[in-house]
Amino acid sequence: MTNDVALSSEAVALADRIGELVARMRSAEAELGAVLVEIEQRGVMELFGYRSAARLLEHLADMPKPATERLIKRARLVNPGRNLDGSPIPALAPATGVAARAGRLSNPMIDVITSVLAQVPPEHCVSAETNLLAFAEEAGHKQVAALGARILAHLAPDGPAPDDTEPVAPTRELFLRRKRTGIWELSGRFDDETGTRAHALLDALAERRTGDEGPDFRTTPQRYGDAFSDAVDLALNSPELPMQAGERAHVMVAVSLEDLKSGVGKATLGDTGTMTAAEARVHACDAMIIPAVLGDKSEPLNLGRLRRLISAGLRRALFLRDRGCAFPGCHRPPRHCQGHHIRHWADGGPTDLTNLVLMCAHHHRLLHRSGWEVRIAPDGLPEFLPPVFIDRRRKPRRNNLHEPLPFAA
């Protein structure tokens, strides 16, 4: 216990140090942008003999030209300028510029706010910027972008028409085999139309993960491997999946009751595979995996609990309440999610709405393995408590990315 406290204190100290350095970096970059805007107003050619401030910064800072152009374009939006005749040009987002120079905003956050304000009618810019900055104090840039989209939808509702195309009859080959090491190899050949659809599916599922747990450092092959696993989960959970021997496709996992409760040990997967008991505990929450729980003498204590997990009606209630993965900052829709037992069913947790929360596979696993906690708030909605190294106050967080029901309060 003492070691855990020491490690926790060390993590908090390191996280605080990172926060201080990041704030200084952001502040310095914002100040640099303000100086470059001033140089543009005074005349880059007259002062330095360069055609543009971007070229000047490229040589002074040894930065690639696209990066210098992005920095200056961002600075022009948050700092006032002047026309050729000397008349002032007000900044699009002056309050955002003040917050940026104080080190409180990331570049993606600045870009989100300015892109929204560029589409807001001028008479609403001040109030929209105030609301966006207030929300930015506690949320990530993707959540602020969601708020910006709602502001724009309210001020100018519009949307593109869907583009439907008719698929062509394809020719396909697929090879899937298991090696002795337990690793599966997949290869195949597809026509252009099928390959394009598969790429679009995996590309959507392979987006870098969002949420408050930190950046996603997976390589591209790792992200696409995880995307393929998610696509398999989606297919297995589809109500249109063909039946096999009178049952929906499933995988049988055998695990001892003691290992299931502790999460330590091994479980058998299918006929020849294995998985950790911790993984079996995750899947036992809500998946197309049937856990066969065994006693001390390998006698079946519980078999076929799949049907007793989350009924179709209860799942629909979860969809309506959570509207997608409930983890803060996650955009995954309900069809990509599983039901998580807040108090695990192996520990006696009930399978009802007050003990369930909708989560995508990644955040479901994260919750089982990290310092994040989830609970149902007094208003009946799920909220998450971050680890101490993210927020020492552990202030509850919610996901605002999913559109609420149109008639919800």
pLDDT of 157 reads: 60
Spatial separation of the C-alpha atoms in residues 145 and 219, rounded to whole Å: 25
**210 has pLDDT over 50:** yes
The residue that leads in pLDDT, 69 or 185, is 69
The residue that leads in pLDDT, 12 or 408, is 12
* Average pLDDT, rounded, for the chain: 78
Flag whether the pTM goes above 0.85. Answer: no
**250 has pLDDT over 60:** no
Paired with 358 in beta bridges are: 339
- Dihedral sign for Cα 283, 289, 290, 292, please: negative
> Would residue 323 be called left, alpha or beta, if left means φ above 0 and alpha means ψ between -120 and 50 degrees?
left
pLDDT of 246 reads: 43
Q: Which domains does the chain have, with CATH numbers?
A: 17-155 (no CATH), 171-206 (no CATH), 308-385 (1.10.30)
* Nearest of 165, 118, 116 to residue 136 by alpha carbon: 116
How big is the CA angle at 150 (ends 402 and 104), to the nearest 5 degrees? 90
**267 has pLDDT over 70:** no
Which residues are within 8 A (CB) of 370 and not within 5 positions of it... i.e. 6 or more apart? 213, 387
End-to-end alpha carbon distance in the chain: 44
Residue 116 near residue 151, CB atoms below 8 Å: yes
Which helix (H) or strand (E) segment holds residue 284: the answer is helix 277-285
Of 289-298, 330-339, 350-359, 395-404, the least confident: 289-298
**180 has pLDDT over 80:** no
Which class for 99: exposed (0-12), middle (13-18), buried (19 or more C-beta within 10 A)?
A: buried
**238 has pLDDT over 80:** no
**Over the stretch 96-149, which tens digit does the pLDDT of each residue have?**
999 999 999 999 999 999 999 999 999 999 999 999 999 999 888 989 999 999
Spatial separation of the C-alpha atoms in residues 22 and 16, rounded to whole Å: 10
pLDDT of 309 reads: 55
The residue that leads in pLDDT, 376 or 216, is 376
Q: Is 165 helix (H, G, I), strand (E, B) or coil?
A: coil
pLDDT of 308 reads: 40
* Nearest of 390, 384, 372, 381 to residue 408 by alpha carbon: 381
The residue that leads in pLDDT, 205 or 381, is 381
For residue 193, give Cα distances in angstroms to 48, 70, 152, 221, 257. Answer: 54, 36, 35, 22, 47
Mean pLDDT of 47-51: 87
Mean pLDDT of 222-230: 84
Mean pLDDT of 30-51: 91
Which class for 162: exposed (0-12), middle (13-18), buried (19 or more C-beta within 10 A)?
A: exposed
pLDDT of 283 reads: 55
Read off the pLDDT band of 289 (50, 70, 90). very low
Beta-strand relationship, 289-294 and 251-256: parallel
The residue that leads in pLDDT, 309 or 85, is 85
Spatial separation of the C-alpha atoms in residues 199 and 192, rounded to whole Å: 10
Spatial separation of the C-alpha atoms in residues 145 and 161, rounded to whole Å: 22
How big is the CA angle at 73 (ends 70 and 78), to the nearest 5 degrees? 125
pLDDT of 307 reads: 38
Mean pLDDT of 390-407: 79
The structure tokens listed for 5 are 């406290």
Paired with 384 in beta bridges are: 374, 397
Beta-strand relationship, 373-376 and 382-385: antiparallel
